[in-house]
A and B are shown apart, each in its own frame.
Chain A
Amino acid sequence: MSPDQILEVDRLTMRFGGIVAVQDLSFAAERKKITALIGPNGAGKTTVFNCITGFYRPSGGAIRLTHDGKVIALERLNDFRIAKQAKVARTFQNIRLFPGMTALENLMVAQHNALMRASGFTFLGLIGAPGYRDAEKCAIDLATDWLKRVNLLDRADDAAGNFAYGDQRRLEIARAMCTEPALLCLDEPAAGLNARESAALSELLLSIRDELGTSILLIEHDMSVVMEISDHIVVMDHGVKIAEGSPREVRDDPKVIAAYLGTDEEEAVAVMESGS
């Protein structure tokens, strides 16, 4: 394993009863790069995501995360420990914000573990210790910074459930980033966005990679986004990897075009067009 890999998926297999959703999948994500996982609907992309982020326990194979010189076996950790200890943050295909809480509160909840330590596991915070107040101020500053980055600062005190769809997507990314992750996993971040919002999203993801050095793994159907920002693309179909490489290589791969043509003609055309 080369030292610049943050995530290594090694012969991952996931079975649900008799159905094999993912079979012997191996790929790696490089540090400070954007890796995309694409494939037709039902290819098993979200299953891979759920295995990496601990929502499923894989039937076989290994998932290794290298962070701060330590190698962590993700397949053995509980879901919340993956976010807490391995510093993997994720967003969801169907947005999962806390709708009854304000945008700022959403970002504060994301900093739960750091704030819990600062509040002396509630006891120091309850008596109003100054150390906790400083920590809370820092947390609000970090949240404010992220609200600025995703262009939602003026709506900080509004309930997240009231936000427009695109704003909710961006807020969810900001919330994931407030956990200060080493690896950010995005499940279809551009779904339901219009062209302008997609462009803004690409810009945001590139700035996360370039300014903060966070590695990104994303599932995406919007080929314009994938081809524009990805450093490396893994293509899946029916639970197995069919191709891998740079956007250019994947675009010209006949197997990829066939897979998309076989299931969804429009998307195959989109793949070819974005290459021309």
Chain B
Amino acid sequence: MRVKTPSINTAKAPSGIPALLKTAGFNALIALVLFSLMVGVRTEAGSDGQLTYWTRFGEVASLVAAVFGGSIVIELLKQWIGPTGAEKLVPPAVQSGMSFLGRYLAPALLIFTLLVPVIFYDQRYILDLAILVLTYVMLGWGLNVVVGLAGLLDLGYVAFYAVGAYSYALLATNFGWSFWICLPLAGILAAFWGVLLGFPVLRLRGDYLAIVTLAFGEIIRLVIINWQELTGGPNGVSSIPRPSFFGIPLDNSDNGLAARLGIEYSPTHRIVFLFYLILALALLTNWVTIRLRRLPIGRAWEALREDEVACRALGINTTTTKLTAFATGAMFGGFAGAFFATRQGFISPESFTFQESALVLAIVVLGGMGSQLGVALAALAMIGGFELFRSLESYRMLVFGMAMVLIMIWRPRGLIGHRAPTVYLTKAHAISSDLVKEGHG
């Protein structure tokens, strides 16, 4: 009997040339079906608005040929290396070396980060990029509380970022309150919205939770766009006050910080100040999260991720536990939003699209859910890497996407997948990611 579809086990079974050609042919067929319409027919609006189209069979043929050739190469590589798996790809010596490196990586990274404004004082571009990376590190750490620790998949995290940004922008422009008063208020307001979101989604799990949080993120954005009297609608809020150094403005004036210190004014002062501000906020997020993990509430979050039914049987109020996770994550998002508003000086709804939520979630997943260092590294890789590929122009997304796919094949549970216990009797062993649950929502 003829088997029409190629078997899934092709990689494992030592197959000869016919099987190889069959797999490659099948892949080429899929490519032909996909590309014949996507690439083969090019449509465009003509000069009078009529539809013009022309065919590009040459391109289709070359793409299909590339898939055919590529399939053969991949199949040969598979047979050469053996069955592919994460363990196979990374030798154990490298893995143990990495765990050794991991111990010193966090302090080394922190020292380097503290020195960034000193090293790159003259390079405005790098300082701006570093501030952007740190903002995403903070957002990642904030979302990590909800997704990584409590296991609640939140696709609308940008809503809290927006609430924080608009809280600061509106309070500062309408009432003239200083950044340091508005910052905690922005956090509290975001946490309040976190609880508001939490209530309707408490009974939902998994995919349903993800959809509702996604909708929540969009609702906040649409409210901001449409509530023109308060938020200025699509025009956004402009001339948001810049942060002051505890009351002393960082400007060119006579009572600015530069004049008071008797040094020459430079616009870089403000950038450096912003850098240390977001670093302090991010480190605060990190410190609070690390402490919370070791407190009963943090353990309850992780227990909730592992098994919600068992939590209830142990007398844990899962409702308040989930709400505190939402509120804590939202509060950090609100802080980051307030920082974003004061840094930009102008905010509009365009800054708070779903893409931001997806980016922050990607950072958390790529970093390894629950791992603080992993999230920081992932933010650096995602934001920094995206800038790194800038020279590739239109191929940037392609290369970036491929890099992400490769990382997820190499480390399916994120860069740092293992979990560190929060309490130990004799010695803390890292817990393999195979055992740690992702949570059901």
Is B106 interfacial (CB-CB < 8 Å)?
Answer: no
- A111 nearest CB neighbor, chain B only: B296
- A109 nearest CB neighbor, chain B only: B303
CB-defined contacts of B299 to chain A, threshold 8 Å:
101, 105, 108-109, 112
> What sequence of 0s and 1s flags, for each residue 304-325 of chain B, a beta carbon within 8 Å of any chain A beta carbon?
0111011111111110000010
Give the residues from 101 to 159 in chain A that come closer than 8 angstroms, CB to CB, to chain B: 101-102, 104-105, 108-113, 115-116, 119, 122, 125-126, 132, 136, 140, 144, 153, 156-159
With most chain B CB atoms within 10 A of its CB, the pick from A98, A140, A175 is: A98
Judge whether A116 and B303 touch: CB under 8 Å. no
Judge whether A108 and B314 touch: CB under 8 Å. no
Is B436 interfacial (CB-CB < 8 Å)?
Answer: yes
How many chain A residues sit at the interface, stated as a range, is: 35 or more
Judge whether A98 and B296 touch: CB under 8 Å. no
Judge whether A126 and B313 touch: CB under 8 Å. no
Is B431 interfacial (CB-CB < 8 Å)?
Answer: yes
Question: Which of B15-23, B95-103, B108-116, B420-428 contacts its partner?
Answer: B420-428
Give the residues from 411 to 441 in chain B that come closer than 8 angstroms, CB to CB, to chain A: 419, 421-429, 431-432, 435-437
Is B171 interfacial (CB-CB < 8 Å)?
Answer: no
Q: Could you count the A-B residue pairs with CB atoms below 8 Å apart for me: how many are there?
A: 138
Q: How far is the CA of A153 from the CA of B426 in the complex (A)?
A: 10
- B303 nearest CB neighbor, chain A only: A109
Q: How far is the CA of A115 from the CA of B429 in the complex (A)?
A: 24
Give the residues from 270 to 323 in chain B that come closer than 8 angstroms, CB to CB, to chain A: 288, 291-292, 295-297, 299-300, 302-303, 305-307, 309-318
Judge whether B297 and A113 touch: CB under 8 Å. no
Contact A98:B421 (CB < 8 A) given known A105-B299, A112-B300, A125-B296: no
Is A80 interfacial (CB-CB < 8 Å)?
Answer: yes
Task: For residue B425, give the distance in angstroms from its CB to the closest CB of chain A.
Answer: 4
User: Which of B300, B309, B426, B437 is in CB contact (< 8 Å) with A100?
Assistant: B437
Judge whether B303 and A101 touch: CB under 8 Å. yes
B side interface size, CB within 8 A: 39
Q: How far is the CA of A176 from the CA of B313 in the complex (A)?
A: 9
Judge whether A99 and B437 touch: CB under 8 Å. yes
- A98 nearest CB neighbor, chain B only: B306
Judge whether A125 and B295 touch: CB under 8 Å. yes
Q: How far is the CA of A99 from the CA of B316 in the complex (A)?
A: 18
Task: For residue B274, give the distance in angstroms from its CB to the closest CB of chain A.
Answer: 27
Judge whether B424 and A104 touch: CB under 8 Å. yes
Is A89 interfacial (CB-CB < 8 Å)?
Answer: yes
Task: For residue B429, give the distance in angstroms from its CB to the closest CB of chain A.
Answer: 6
Judge whether B419 and A100 touch: CB under 8 Å. yes
Q: Mostly helix, strand, loop or mixed at chain A's interface? A: helix
Q: How far is the CA of A89 from the CA of B314 in the complex (A)?
A: 7
CB-defined contacts of A140 to chain B, threshold 8 Å:
423, 425
Task: For residue A99, give the distance in angstroms from its CB to the closest CB of chain B.
Answer: 5
Judge whether B314 and A99 touch: CB under 8 Å. no
Contact A105:B423 (CB < 8 A) given known A116-B297, A159-B432: yes
CB-defined contacts of A108 to chain B, threshold 8 Å:
296, 299, 422-423
- B433 nearest CB neighbor, chain A only: A100
Q: How far is the CA of A158 from the CA of B428 in the complex (A)?
A: 9
Q: How far is the CA of A80 from the CA of B316 in the complex (A)?
A: 6
Q: How far is the CA of A199 from the CA of B360 in the complex (A)?
A: 53
CB-defined contacts of A111 to chain B, threshold 8 Å:
296
Task: For residue B136, give the distance in angstroms from its CB to the closest CB of chain A.
Answer: 25
Judge whether B425 and A84 touch: CB under 8 Å. no
CB-defined contacts of A113 to chain B, threshold 8 Å:
315-316
Judge whether B423 and A104 touch: CB under 8 Å. yes
CB-defined contacts of B435 to chain A, threshold 8 Å:
99-100, 159, 161-162
Judge whether A119 and B295 touch: CB under 8 Å. yes
Judge whether B314 and A110 touch: CB under 8 Å. yes
> What sequence of 0s and 1s flags, for each residue 79-99 of chain A, a beta carbon within 8 Å of any chain B beta carbon?
111111000011010001111
Is A53 interfacial (CB-CB < 8 Å)?
Answer: yes
Q: How far is the CA of A101 from the CA of B56 in the complex (A)?
A: 57
With most chain B CB atoms within 10 A of its CB, the pick from A80, A92, A119 is: A80
Judge whether A157 and B421 touch: CB under 8 Å. yes
- B295 nearest CB neighbor, chain A only: A125
CB-defined contacts of A162 to chain B, threshold 8 Å:
435
CB-defined contacts of B426 to chain A, threshold 8 Å:
156-157
Contact A109:B309 (CB < 8 A) given known A80-B316, A156-B425, A161-B435: no
User: Which of B306, B314, B436 is in CB contact (< 8 Å) with A175?
Assistant: B314
- A91 nearest CB neighbor, chain B only: B313
Q: How far is the CA of A117 from the CA of B314 in the complex (A)?
A: 15
Judge whether A83 and B421 touch: CB under 8 Å. no
Judge whether B312 and A159 touch: CB under 8 Å. no
Judge whether A122 and B313 touch: CB under 8 Å. no
Judge whether B296 and A119 touch: CB under 8 Å. yes
CB-defined contacts of B303 to chain A, threshold 8 Å:
98, 101, 109, 112
Judge whether B431 and A83 touch: CB under 8 Å. no
CB-defined contacts of B316 to chain A, threshold 8 Å:
80, 109, 112-113
- A113 nearest CB neighbor, chain B only: B315
Judge whether B313 and A157 touch: CB under 8 Å. no
Task: For residue B304, give the distance in angstroms from its CB to the closest CB of chain A.
Answer: 9
User: Which of B315, B423, B429 is in CB contact (< 8 Å) with A158?
Assistant: B429
Judge whether A80 and B317 touch: CB under 8 Å. yes
- B427 nearest CB neighbor, chain A only: A157
With most chain A CB atoms within 10 A of its CB, the pick from B291, B296, B317, B436 is: B296
Q: How far is the CA of A76 from the CA of B303 in the complex (A)?
A: 26
Is A179 interfacial (CB-CB < 8 Å)?
Answer: yes
Contact A98:B310 (CB < 8 A) given known A122-B297, A126-B291, A158-B429: yes
A-B contact pairs, 8 of them (CB 8 A): A55-B312, A80-B317, A99-B435, A100-B437, A102-B424, A122-B324, A140-B425, A159-B429
19 further A-B pairs in the complex, CB-CB below 8 A; given A115-B296, A159-B431: A79-B312, A80-B312, A84-B315, A96-B307, A96-B309, A97-B310, A100-B305, A101-B302, A101-B431, A104-B423, A105-B421, A108-B299, A112-B314, A112-B316, A119-B297, A126-B291, A136-B423, A156-B426, A157-B428
Closest 5 CB pairs of A and B: A83-B315, A100-B436, A84-B315, A161-B435, A98-B306
B contact residues vs A (CB 8 Å cutoff)? 288, 291-292, 295-297, 299-300, 302-303, 305-307, 309-318, 324, 419, 421-429, 431-432, 435-437
